Amino acid sequence: MVDAEITITNAAGLHARPAALFVRTAAGFESSIRVRNLSRDAEREADAKSILSVMTLGIEQGHIISISAEGPDETAAIDTLRALAKGNIDE
């Protein structure tokens, strides 16, 4: 299992279009990927491949999220999602 903590910097957070891009990116990996909003409710975990699950986390600008991936492409999944977030999720 590989984990990463990432600060969300784009103004919209992970709402609507940014969340959809995040989920589409996660869905491209075979590994199981989970996400938590450490700034709001660190105990609640969501499937990073489900738009509804991700959006219910209420991830806003400045929030810190934890992403964990487990499976054959776990490192690539974390690296790709980290790069996406650092690139402001194309906002």
Give catalytic residues, as residue numbers.
15
Which helix (H) or strand (E) element contains residue 28?
none
